Amino acid sequence: MLAAMKETGVGFRHEALFYAGDEDFLAGTVPFLQEALSGNGAVLVALTRPRTELLRDGLGAEARQVEFLEIEEVGRNPARIIPLWRDFLDANAGTAGPLRGIGEPIWAGRSEAELDECRRHERLLEFAFGEGRSWSLLSPYDKGALAGEVLAGAAASRPFVDDSASPAWDRDEEPWSPFGGDLPPPPRATPSFGFGRDELAGARRLIEREAGDAGLSAYRTTDFVTATSELTANSVLHGGGSGELRTWSRDGEMIVEVSDRGRIDEPLVGRVKPPIHQLHGRGLWLANQLCDLVRIRSGAAGTTIRLHIGIE
């Protein structure tokens, strides 16, 4: 469990930009980037495709100095976004000028499950970067396309909004865990497959069969089986020696749920790239790289992890 959210460290400024329309968006983003570029800094932009094209046009020739990524690809799973910013900081460790990023983790069309994980991701940013190198992250929110509760959540999850202190940001709030709360129940009559060490191969075969029945492509089936295998092995090694596996399909995606008696306490688990020489502790990292969404709930009663993957 995290302590009450710490004050923003010397190094990290985390700000939301609430905008209405294209001109408002450009007025908040173009000067932010130009200031870094004029100071021989480095910038990374991870936006939705329409916002990317708009910002390219707004920057003109200066766009050639900017690295652009499409957030729909690199950040569909919100758990991949913190590693993205870590890589940016590492790649520019020798840069003397300002380091700035623009990231859009929440866009219109995100599912409720994705929005929930995005909110958890946003609160983890302060924990991940609050005491590191000096840099600034700006996250745009479209006031005309996003619900009021989404904007309220954005204001509460960072110290600054629209270049001012966020009145909703509370550094003294109650302790918070990124793994707290409950997941929606599985569909009724979803069967449960109990497994221990001897049933791990059977668990893999079950996911292969269910993925084929759901219409998952061959390469996505391989991804899903690999991710599930990592989690079931973790349950055997770290979750009390056994676990429960469930799987179902709904709304164009396949879901696998793995539950066990273990507990996860590391807030950034699955969001820190393991060293290449590390033999263990890669399960949740791999799951995040292979799946479209990973949801973790963990506490005294045990851990439940859900893997989501789209049916293409």
State the architecture of 193-310 in CATH terms. 2-Layer Sandwich (3.30)
CA 167 centroid distance within chain? 25
Query: Which stretches of the chain drop beneath a pLDDT of 70?
Result: 1-10, 170-175, 278-281
- Measure the CA–CA gap between 254 and 142, rounded to whole angstroms: 30
pLDDT at 263: 95
User: Any idea where the domains of the chain sit in the sequence?
Assistant: 12-165, 193-310
pLDDT at 129: 92
pTM of the predicted structure, to 2 decimals: 0.92
To the nearest whole number, what is the mean pLDDT of the chain?
Answer: 91
pLDDT at 280: 67
pLDDT at 161: 85
Q: In the chain, which ranges are E strands?
A: 12-19, 42-47, 67-70, 99-103, 135-142, 160-161, 164-165, 193-195, 243-250, 253-260, 293-299, 302-310
Q: Which of 265, 276, 223 is nearest to 231 (CA)?
A: 223
pLDDT in tens, 166-218: 777 766 555 678 999 999 999 999 999 999 999 999 999 999 999 999 999 99
pLDDT at 10: 52
Instruction: Please check whether residue 33 is in contact with residue 66, taking contact to mean a CB–CB distance below 8 angstroms.
Output: yes
Do 12-165 and 193-310 have matching folds? no
pLDDT at 255: 97
| CATH code linked to domain 12-165 | 3.40.50.300
pLDDT in tens, 209-258: 999 999 999 999 999 999 999 999 999 999 999 999 999 999 899 999 99
